[in-house]
Amino acid sequence: MPNLKDLKNRIESVKNTRKITKAMQMVAAAKLRRAQEAAEEGRPYAERMNAVLGGLAASVGGSESAPKLLSGSGSDNVHLLVVMTGERGLCGGFNSSIVRMARAKAQELMAAGKTVKMITVGKKGRDQLKREYGGITINHVDLSGVKRVGYANAHEIASDILGRFDTGEFDVATIFYNTFVNVAVQEPTAQQIIPASFDASPEADNSTVFDYEPGEDEILKDLLPRGVATQIFAALLENGASEQGARMSAMDNATRNAGDMIDALTIEYNRSRQAIITNELIEIISGAEAL
């Protein structure tokens, strides 16, 4: 049974931890507002870009002149998995959920006889995957020194991926990230970016006909690389909001748990102190009776 000094030290230690977790929760709440606004403001542009590219891709169809980014390399033997996580921890299952999905996809592809390569964006994803998949990781993007992720960061990542695709290093590329739903919910998402894949949208079902100049093929050659960068940028924004939401929730839970632990330790401290006082009184009374 711990003595009173040990219990008192533990209570002070937990109180100091609670101060830290409370401060981190408040910082995450402040960052979450900006990150959530950035993610929500970026969604309309990404959705509109997806709709335009989807319409163009539908009009081009499977023609021989279709860009390689749309038609693919003609094979799906080599897959590139781009795992996008955070640079820091203490955010609950945010990083682990992304890594878990990417690991499951890699195992599924390998079981099917496919070749898998990886690019990690964020230190936490690299640290969790390097032991098992370090040999197939071909690049790592470090964003730890970036105060606020911008389109330039997404463009740099996209340029690296597109360059590798042009040289024939892979056939299919998929990005993994968390979609921000609310503070308590972040959905792990896998999205294929090469060859370009477009979701059906209401805009694609209307009867409006557009004439493009100089032509769909030429426009797609310019827009498809920009579309890849846009999808990566949207994923980075979603990840940023998801990370702060997950950290805010995790630190709130940690603060509550610290409070419960302090209450339990305080009760134990008071009981131990009362037991010591009672024993001392018994000894005094017993000594007085013996005299």
Q: How far is residue 281's CA from residue 287's CA, in Å, rounded to a whole number?
A: 10
Could you confirm whether 24 is annotated as catalytic? Answer: no
176: left (phi over 0), alpha (psi -120 to 50) or beta: beta
Compute the half-sphere exposure of residue 167: CA atoms within 13 Å on the CB side of its CA.
6
Query: CB 17: neighbour CB atoms within 10 A?
Result: 16
To the question of pTM greater than 0.75 for the whole model, the response is yes
Is the separation of the CB atoms in 85 and 99 below 8 Å?
yes
CATH, domain 21-250, list 3.40.50.1100, 3.30.360.10, 3.40.1380.10, 3.40.640.10: 3.40.1380.10
pLDDT in single tens digits along all 291 residues of the chain: 578 888 899 999 999 999 999 999 999 999 999 999 999 888 898 888 888 887 777 776 656 667 788 878 888 899 999 999 999 888 988 999 999 999 999 999 999 999 999 999 999 999 999 999 989 999 999 988 888 888 999 999 999 999 999 999 999 999 999 999 988 889 999 999 988 877 655 444 444 555 666 666 677 777 888 989 999 999 999 999 999 999 999 999 999 999 999 999 999 999 988 888 888 888 888 877 776
- Structure-block tokens of residue 240: 């940023």
Q: What angle do CA 127, 181, 54 make, to 5 degrees?
A: 90
Q: Which member of 35, 83, 91, 194 is catalytic?
A: 91
